[in-house]
Every structure is written in structure tokens, then in C-alpha cells.
Structure 1
Amino acid sequence: MHIIVLPLLLLCHGVANIHCSAVHESRPQDLRSLLDFKRGITSDPHRALSNWTTRSHFCYWECTLEQPRRVWGLQLSRQCLSGQISSSLGNLTFLYELDLSYNNFVDISSNSLVGSIPPKLGLLSNLGYLNLRSNQLNGSIPGELGQLKLKYLILGDNKLSGEIPQAFFRLSSLQYLSLELNMLGKALPPNIGELLPNLIEVTLENNNFEGPIPDCLGNNALGLKMIDLSYNNFTGRIPTSLGKLSNLTFLNLQDNQLVARKNQDWEFLNALRNCRFLEGSLPQSIGDLSTSLQVLLLGGNSLSSQVPQSIGKLSALTWLGLGENNFSGTIEGWIENLKRIRRLCLQSNNFTGPILSSISNLTQFYNNLLGPISQNFGNLQQLALVDLRDNNLATWWHNSGDITQVSTKLK
């Protein structure tokens, strides 16, 4: 479960490119559209548009050449441009990629709608990539975008508001949806997973979304690798269907109004055992989970660092599975508080330190545990199997009690 908070560094002086194809056909409407766009720019400190003139063909304005002679990509990210986004971009009907991210577009004109994303962008029938991130765009998301064939839609870090239009959910080919750091709200449609089944990443953090997290998200959008719904107003239970997302690497649900009052409300945690690609470190807040939680299985991922001491607060745990990860450090401190543990799986990690006598049922191998085996192992009356292979334990054995199967490969 990987939660990352990084400062945002905005850089100017990126790459300014027009990608076009060039053979026989040249469309004057593409030239007019680009020059109209340039006229709306009030500040171009890095002269990204300095050679946009009628004296040279637009295909020579830093571009790649294919066929036919039409503009298919416009990349002006991180140029510190200010001004208006001209609605004439809607006439670039061959356009597939539009990247105007990290600029300062404030006053966007389109059909007299000041401050909005131009609805005329919905005419770009070939557009597959739209990136308007980190500007100062406001208003609502135009429903006309739902007419496109977008795979990438990146509108994060603006001032967009209102609810996502219903027409937007016609983007059935959409794979990457970035709407974070806006003022969008209302509930997500309950069938969002059916409408957008090809989603790989969805980032909606820092908005005003409300209502339940749609169960359909985990039932239908099975390719999801990243979900960030943090800092919203989502309510209700966390759906157990998230556990079906076997490719999930990042899940962030913090700072919502989600509830888990009954044991079954925590079932989503056990469902996450199907998510085999979780990475990063466990947060200290894991200790704030229900004290009635009995089973927590997070094995077979890429979780690392030390197991937080707060996990010892989960005093009702009978089965804890942390095996086959990259955990390190000692198990001392938190393990003694798990008095009810009957099955403990810590195999294939990098734990170090002495083995403890307070464990009543033990499976911990392929670690770096060292030192003598405690004589108190003879008092573990419920222990049926102990496997201590591939550790650094000193050879010792005494009074095995009711132990019936012993497999030791002591170093």
C-alpha cells in the first residue's frame, strides 16, 4: 500500500513541438488554427512560438513528418505561456495529442464561455491524449469531451468545479483519468466501472466528491493499478471488490468519511490479499484499524521498511500474514502484544534479531533471525509445526512438549 506525498516543482523551459505529417496534402485550416492560438497568447517568455509565422510551413515548426500533412500533436508543456486558449484548436481535426500542461492559461474563450475548457475541443475526433494540468482553468468539464476517443485525460491542478457530466462517461477507452486538485463534486456513478472498464489509473484526490465508493470499480475495471480518492467526502464502507484488483499497486483513501463499525466492514482488508503488487511501507495508522480485526493478510507484495509498532494494537489478531515482502528490522515490541496469534507468517523477509518465546504458533523462515532458540519453546503446548529454516539460530533443543513435526536446518 503505497502513499506518497511529494512537493510539486513547477519547471518552465520544456519541449515545444508540433507533430505533423507531411506528404502531399496541406490544410490551410491547420495553419489558421495555430496562428489563432498564437494570437491568444499574451506572454511567451521562452519564445516557444517565435517561429510560428506564415513565412515557413507549420510542419517545420519542430515536428515529425508522417502522412498526410496534418497536425496530429501539439506539445507546449512547461513553457510558462499565459493568455487564452483559442477555440480554433477545435478545427485541428487530425489532432491526437494536445499537451498544454504547466502553463498559466487563465482567460479561456470559447463561444463566449469565459473561464471554461473550450467545448469545441469535442470536435477533435482523433484526439487520444489531452493534458491541461496545472493551469488556472475554471468552470465545469464540458460534456462535449465525451464525444472523443481519449485514452489519457489529465485535468488535475486547476480550478474546475461542478459535477462530472454524464456524457463524460462515454469515454469507454479511457485508461488514465487525472482530475485531482480541483473543486469537483457530487457522487460518482455507481456503474463507473462498467462505463470506464479500461481504467489503469484514476486520481481524484483533493476534490469534493461524496457518496459511496462504487463497488463496480473493483468488479469491472480489473486493470486498475492506481486509485487515489484521498481528501474527499466519500462515505460508507470500503467495498471488498477492491480486492479483485490483482494489479493494484497504489491505494489511497485517507481523509474521507468512510466508516467501519462492524467486523464485516473490515473485510476489504482481507480481500486485498489478492493484490499482489502493493509496495511501500505500512503506515503507523494501521494500528487505528478495528481492535476486533482477526485476520490481516498482506503477504506476497513488495512492502518494505519496518513493521510499525502500532500493529501491536490489533490485539484480536489470530492470523497475521506478512510473508514474502521486503520487511526489515526486528519483530520485538509489537509481536508480544498479539496475545491471540495462532498463525504468524513472516517468511521471506529481512527480519533480524532474536526469536521470541512469546509466540504461540510460528512460521518464520527465510529471514535473518539469529541467536539461541528459547527454552520456553517447550511450553508452547498448541504448537504443531515449527519451521525455522534459513535463519541464523544457534543449535539448541530441549523439552519439545507437544511438538509433533520439526523441520530444522540450522545455521
Structure 2
Amino acid sequence: MIWSLCLIFSLFNSLLIFASPAKQLCRSDQKNALLEFKSEFHFNGIAANEKTQRWTNTTDCCSWDGISCDIKTGNVVELNLWGSSLNGSLRSNSSLFRLQHLQSLNLSSNNLAGILPDSIGNFKYLKVLKLYGCSFFGNIPSSLGNLSYLTHLDLDGNDFTGELPESLSNLHQLTKLLLASSKLTGNFHHALLNLSELTAIDFSSNQFEGMLPSNMSSFSKLEYFDMSVNSFSGPIPSSLFMIPSLTRLNLEKNIFSGPVEIGNISSPSKLQELSLGGNNLNGTIPGSISKLVGLSYLDLSFWDTERGLVDFSIFLHLKSLTLLDISHLNTRRNNLHISSTLHLPSPIGSLGLSSCNISEFPKFLRTQTGLFFLNISANQFQGHIPEWLWRLPGLGYLDISQNSFSGFEGASDDHFILASDNQFSGNIPTKICELLALETLVLTNNNFSGSLPRCFENFNTTLSVLHLRNNSLSGNIPEEFFSVSLISLDVGRNKLSGELPKSLINCTKLEFLNVEDNEISDTFPFWLRMLPSLQILVLRSNRFHGPIFSPGDSLSFPKLRIFDISENLFTGVLPLDYFAGWSTMSSVVYIAYDKLHRFIGFTFSNYHKSVVLANKGSKMELLGSSFRIYKTIDVSGNRLEGDIPQSISLLKELIVLNMSNNAFTGRIPPSLSNLTNLQSLDLSQNRLSGTIPPELEKLTFLAWMNFSNNMLEGPIPQGTQIQSQNSSSFAHNPGLCGAPLKRSCGEGEEEARKQDEGKEEKDQVLSWIAAAIAYAPGVFCGFVIGHILSSYRHDWFMRIFRSFA
């Protein structure tokens, strides 16, 4: 009966609860603070619909996406708005700071460009702070040292500058300190050694310098240590290898020097990843590296062995090794010894042997059935590629560039083939067309000839990178030639002719298009504006002709960052708003920070992509990361005319502007002073008139300029950047005066006055001479006329006299 009564009472109580109005857990002050915080930003993108858009005043804020509350107090203890398309700065008086009970805050991957306010240090209960990829700039606030409960601090992928605040050494409970991919400077503070709870430290891709402390073993719980891509120098502390918990150590791309001492390792090492490549390390590769038996990833590239013999067998003890990179050993002779009977105990997946001065193909590769990535570029291989190489079942990435291979027979299921800078000749082998999974094909700088294989249409859905630059290929580009998956296409420096195939319009992922130095004869491809991802367009040195503007059509390239149509036959006038829709050149484009890219190891985007541009009066080649930095426009060497479009001043991110060798007229727009990032300006060999706008003095980054061979006049502006130019930059403008020209403006005016006076005197002399010349015939005519009149008058008087008589 007692159990029955309890059950009845429990059911009755439940009914009462369900019958009563739902009570909201969230406190009203917390809800108001969150709603006000939302109102401080503007939103864009789909992500905004997934979180904050569902925040309404009629629902319990503890049920909102990204919100967690303390079930006892109703206080908001977690706010996670990762990737929620927040746009706007985080103000020091933001309502966010009224959420005083927060224990976890994640605003990562939003556009919060601005200063991280000191108010961030007021969250006294905060344990987790994630603000990676938010575009914060300025100094890291020292107030972070007030967060005594903080265990996880992630500020990766911002634009922070200055040194680390020493107050971070107060965070004694901190386990993760992640500050990668910013612009931080200074040394590695010794005070950080007091943070004995740290398991992960990442300062990679900054501007740190100096030496690392020698007693790194005080980080007794450290598992992950990444100082890559900085300017750290001196020896690598051997104490790092003594940390028993360390699994990942990345020191690549610094300026560490000297030999490496691994030291005596008493217990089995847990180290799985060791990256020391891209430094100034020298001496013998230590044999004690074989003690790191748990290594699966080993990068010793760019090690200067000082001509010492490197025996590949030292790696045989590393039975877990799946990635090995010993490229660029900086030897002048064949010092890498690979025995013909060598057999690796473990299947290796990635192997880098680039620039190791080896001439005999490593035979141990025959048995590496799990090999996916092989880079043997920049060695001394000759002749034909071994046929057994193509039969390796797992090979997906093969880089044989910069050798002397001449035979390209065979085919495999490779996804990425890089074979540039060899001695291949004849037609491009049709065997390649059998590689139905091919994603990247780079055959630049060879001697291939003949036409482009029509069988490339087999790659209709797979091929994303096709580079055939600098060969002797001829004929038309087939319409069916392109894969709809193309991201990068380079067929520059060949002998291709005909028109640019309109089937390119189907390549909606295309970012890079280079057809320079061919014999293509076509009108401007207006239809390229339909490609939403196009960033680089190079049509230079062909036979393109006609206008580059079509009335009624907007030429909008929202993502374009390099536009080079120089040395063609383009004509016509550009409207004032020609550059109005070129968004990427107009403003800084926010790119969400992706942390995953830093842990991939070998990347598959390191194919040889290059563009030669005119910059500062000479040719320069862009490679690698330069493409992300440079934003250029080059329309030089055409027949364009009319005024320079005023809309050019909208392109505030422009670095290089070359409009030389055309027929532009009118004045130089003063609004060019809006291009505050401009480094190179060439307006030479046109028909520009008027003065050089003094507003250009504001362009403090403008290191090179050329106004020569125009019809400019007046004084040259006196700004520091302008005055530092050579006089040739202003030559052949008869009306220009002032430094750096030898003709001063005052002397020029006096000379002009004297010339005017001389001209006036000459005019007066000429007038007198003309008058004198005209006087003689006038006198003669006067005598004749007078004689005629007097004779006539005499006869008239005689007739009158006779009539009276």
C-alpha cells in the first residue's frame, strides 16, 4: 500500500508539473545581455541562420543554440558561436561582459576585426577561451593574466602584433596555449617555464626570434610543441627530447643552427612527429635518432651534412615510420648512400628525396606497395622512368621535376603527376589519358610539341590542375579540352593559336587562368565574368583585339586579384565605372581561418604555379604565397584611349598599376591617392596632360613611378616618395619642372617670359617688315590711283567748262 501511495503521489505531482506553466531556467538579465550582444553585430552567410537567428525573447535562452546554463542558478556558463558569421568589432562595453559567470567562451571563425578589449580579463570564472580566426589585431591584452582558472587559451589565426604579455605566466592552470598564425614578435619568455601544467604550446607562423630556453624539461607534461615558421635561432635544446610525454615536436622553418644533440633517452620515447626541416642545422645526422622508435613522421630536410656521408640505413630502426623527408641535404656530391639491397622494415607512405644528388633510382621502392607520396625532384636521374614505378598500387603523388628524364612511357593510377623541367619531347603521351582519376598534371618547361591531346576530355570531372607552360605546343585549344573541375590552367609560352574556347565557362571552380605568350587571336572574353571564383587572369602577349568594354554589360570580377592583358591589340575607351565591381581589389576580404590545414603534412597544392609581372620597371615572377599578397592591374602595351576611369580609385588594395604605352588622354585622376597600398605606378607613354596631382604625395608605399613621355606640365610634387625617383621617370614632358628634373620652375617661367618677349619682338619686326613690304606697292598704287583720279577730274572740269562756254 505504501508503494502504491508513493506511486499515486508521484503521478499526481507530475500531472501538476505538466499542468503548470513552463518555468524558464534562464535568468532575464542573462537573456537581455545575450540579445543585446546579438544586436551589436551584423550577420551574413548561412551560419547566421543556424544559431543566433533562433534566439527569441519568447524562449528560454538556456535552450538556445550555443548556450549552456548552470541548472541550479540559471547563469549562462557557456557561449559557443563558432562560425556564426558575426561581423563587427568586440567593444569594451559590450553586453557580453555582463555574462560574468561564463566558464567557456568560443567566438572563433567570425569577423571581429578590431582590438581585443581589456574587458576580456573580467571573466573571473573562465576556463576555456577560443578566439581563433577572428581578425583581431593590436596587442594581446595583459588582462588575460587575470583569468586564474583558465586552462585553454586559443588565439590562433589573428593579426596580433607586439610581444607576449608576461602576465600569461600567471595562468598556472593553463594546459593549452595556442597563438599560431599571427604577427607576434619578441622572445620566448622564460617566465612561461613556470606553467608546468601545459600539454600543448603552439607559437607557429609568427615573428618570434631569439633562442629557446635550455631547460625546457620543466614542461614535464608537454605533449605538443610547435615553434615552426618563426625566426628562432641558436641550438635546439636537447632537453626537449628528454620530456617523456612529448609526442609532437615541430621546429621547422626557423634559423636554428649547429648540430643536434638528442642526448641519452632512458625510457622509450613517445615522440611520434619530429619536424626539423628548413633550418640551418649542420653536421652529421645523429645516429641516436634511431632511439626515437615511435616516430611516424620525420622531417630533416635542408640539413647541411657538410659533405658527410648519410647512410639511409640509420632509419631502419624506425619501424613505425610512415613519412620521411630528407630533401635538400645541401651536399655537392652524391653523399646519400642507398644500398641496392636495402629493405625498409615498415611500409612507408610518404618519402621526400628531393635534391639529394642521387642518380640511381632507389630499388627498395619496388616493394613499397603502400607508398602514396614520392618526391624525387631535383636529382640527377636520366633516361626513362622505370616501368615498375608506374605499377606501385598505392602511388598517388609523384614529383619527378627538375631531372633529365626523357622517356615518359607507362601509366599508373596516380592522382598527382609533376614532371616539369625535364627533357621530355614529342607529343604529350596519350597514355596519360588512361589515368581516369588524375587530378594534377604539371608538364611545364619541357620540349613537348604538336597539338593538345583531345583525349583530355576523359578527365571531364577529375582534373583540377593542368600546367603545360613553356613547351612548343601548337594548334587550337580544343573546345572539349577542359575538365569542369579545373581550378588552375596554365598553357602560357607555347605556340597555341585560334580563339579562347568558350567551353571554359563551364569551369565554375577556375581560379587561375594563364595563356600568356601564345598566338591566340580573339576578342576580349567577356564571358569570363561568369566564373565566380576567378582570381588570376593573364592574357598577356597574344593577339587579342577590340574593346575590353561592352555597352550594357557590367564587367564585374568580384574575386580577381591579378588582371594582366598587356601587349595585345585592345582598343577603345573605358567608362568611368569600369572597375566598380572588382570587390577583392577594393577591400580586405575576410577568409575564415581553417586550423586543419596546419596538420596535413605534405600538401598537394605545391605545384609549380607562376606568373611573370611587370613591377617597378622590371619583370618579376610570382610564386607560392606571393599570389595571395599581390593585387595588380596591367593593361600596358595596347591601344586604349580616353580618360583613365575614375573608378580605379576604388581599388584600395591595389599594389601594382601599369597603364603605360597606350593612348590615354586627359588628366591624371587626383583620386589615385586613395590607393594607399600602391607600390608601383606606370602611366608612361600616353597622351596625358595637366599637372601631376599633389595628392599623390600621400602614397607613402609608392616606391616606383613613371610619368615619362606624356604632355604633363607644371611643378612636380615635392613628396618624399616622388622626389626619390630618377629623373627619367618624368622625362619627355616639356612642361614639367622642379626636382628631380634639372629645370627649376622659376627658371622655366623666366625663360618662358624671355621667350615670349623675344617672340613679341620678332612679331613686331615681322610686322614692320610686312608693313614696309606692303608700303611700296601701296605708294605705287596711290600714285596710279591719284593720277587716274586727277586725270579723270581734269577731264570732268573741262567738260563742265565747255558746257558753259
Deviation at 1:273, TM superposition (A): 8.0
Deviates more, 1:76-85 or 1:196-205: 76-85
Structure 2, unaligned runs of 5 or more: 1-21, 324-335, 349-366, 368-805
Letter in 2 for 1:229: M
* Cα shift at 1:192: 1.8
Instruction: Say yes or no: does 1:326 pair with 2:310.
Output: no
Contact 2:249 2:275 in 1 (8 A): no
Alpha-carbon offset, residue 67 of structure 1: 2.2
Equivalent residue for 2:174?
174
Shift of 1:162: 0.9
Alpha-carbon separation, structure 2, partners of 1:178 and 1:59: 29
Structure 2 residue matching 1:174: 3-state secondary structure:
coil
Structure 2 CA distance for aligned equivalents of residues 282 and 227 of structure 1: 11
The alignment's TM-score, normalised by the length of structure 2, stands at 0.34
1:207 matched residue in structure 2: 206
Matching residue of 2:239: 241
Note if contact 1:294-1:316 (Cα within 8 Å) is conserved in structure 2.
Answer: no
Does residue 1:251 correspond to 2:249, yes or no?
A: yes
Distance 1:299-1:169 versus aligned 2 partners, 3 A rule: closer
Give secondary structure in 1 for the equivalent of 2:270: coil
Contact kept? 1:326, 1:349, Cα under 8 Å:
yes
Counterparts in 2 of 1:56 and 1:299: CA distance versus 1, 3 Å? closer
Aligned counterparts, 1:114-193, within 5 A: 115-148=114-147, 149-193=149-193
Structure 2 match to 1:15: none
Which deviates more from structure 2 when the two are superposed, residues 274-283 or residues 47-56? 274-283
1:236-273 deviations in Å (ceiling 9; x for gaps): 1111110121222221112212120xxxx421x34578
Deviation at 1:297, TM superposition (A): 2.9
SS at match of 1:53: coil
The residue identity in structure 2 corresponding to 1:36 is E
In structure 2, the CA distance between the partners of 1:69 and 1:203, relative to structure 1 (3 Å rule), is same
Q: Report the Cα distance in structure 2 between the residues aligned to 1:287 and 1:259, rounded to whole angstroms.
A: 5
| 1:97 partner letter | S
Q: Calculate the TM-score normalised by the size of structure 1.
A: 0.64
**Shift in CA distance, 327/26, structure 1 to aligned 2, threshold 3 Å:** closer
| Equivalent residue runs for 1:10-409 within 5 Å | 27-45=27-45, 46-47=48-49, 48-62=51-65, 63-64=67-68, 66-86=71-91, 87-106=94-113, 115-148=114-147, 149-194=149-194, 196-216=195-215, 218-260=216-258, 265-267=259-261, 269-270=262-263, 276-279=269-272, 289-291=282-284, 293=286, 295-303=288-296, 314-315=308-309, 320=314, 322-323=316-317, 325-327=319-321, 334-336=337-339, 349=346
Identical counterparts, % of pairs: 25
CA contact (8 A) 1:249 1:277 kept: yes
User: 1:242, 1:271 within 8 Å by CA — same for their partners in 2?
Assistant: no
Give me the whole-angstrom Cα distance separating, in 1, the residues matched to 2:278 and 2:206. 23
1:293-316 C-alpha deviation (Å, 9 max, x unpaired): 5644344214269999x9997528
- Verify the 8 A CA contact 2:166 2:191 in the aligned structure 1: no
Give the structure with the higher percent helix: 2
Aligned amino acid, residue 284 of structure 2: T
Check 1:61–1:321 CA distance in 2 against 1; reply closer, same or farther (3 A cut): closer
How has the CA–CA distance of structure 1 residues 58 and 136 changed in structure 2, closer, same or farther, with 3 Å as cutoff?
same
Q: Which amino acid aligns with 2:141?
A: P
Deviation digits for residues 135-184 of structure 1 (CA, Å, limit 9, x no counterpart)? 11111111111111211111111111111111121111111111111011
The aligned residue for residue 358 of structure 1 is none
Three-state SS of the structure 2 residue aligned to 1:235 is strand
Indicate the RMSD between aligned Cα atoms, in angstroms.
4.0
Give the SS at the match of 1:150.
coil
Q: Which deviates the most, 68-77 or 27-36?
A: 27-36
Give the match's secondary structure for 1:227. strand
The 8 Å contact of residues 157 and 182 in structure 1, kept in 2 or not, is answered as: yes
Amino acid at match of 1:248: L
The residue type equivalent to 1:177 in the other structure is L
Match of 2:485 in 1: none
**Larger CA Rg, structure 1 vs 2:** 2
Return the offset for 1:39. 1.5
In the TM superposition, what whole-angstrom CA distance separates every residue of 1:100-136 from its partner, at most 9, and x where no partner exists?
1111112xxxxxxxx2112112111111111111111
Q: CA deviation at 1:207?
A: 0.8
Question: Given the superposition, is the C-alpha separation of residues 185 and 284 from structure 1 closer, same or farther in structure 2, using an over 3 Å criterion?
Answer: closer
Per-residue CA distance 1:379-411 (angstroms, 9 max, x = gap): xxxxxxxxxxxxxxxxxxxxxxxxxxxxxxxxx
Is contact 2:256–2:280 with CA below 8 Å preserved after alignment? no
Of 64-73 and 177-186, more deviation after overlay is shown by 64-73
Q: Deviations over 1:333-381 (max 9, x none)?
A: 73559xxxxxxxx996469xxxxxxxxxxxxxxxx9xxxxxxxxxxxxx
How far apart, in 1, do the equivalents of 2:279 and 2:118 lie? 45
| C-alpha distance in 2 between matches for 1:163 and 1:185 | 5
Deviations along 1:36-81, one digit per CA (max 9) or x if unpaired, are 2112111243333223333333223234552220000001111222
Instruction: Pick closer, same or farther for the CA change 1:282–1:251 going to 2, 3 Å.
Output: closer
Asked whether the 8 Å contact 2:68–2:78 carries over to 1, the reply is no
Provide closer, same or farther for how the CA distance between residues 321 and 274 of structure 1 changes in structure 2, counting only shifts above 3 A: farther
Structure 1: runs of 5 or more not aligned: 1-21, 107-114, 338-345, 352-367, 369-411
* Conserved 8 A contact 1:250-1:279: yes
Letter in 1 for 2:63: Y
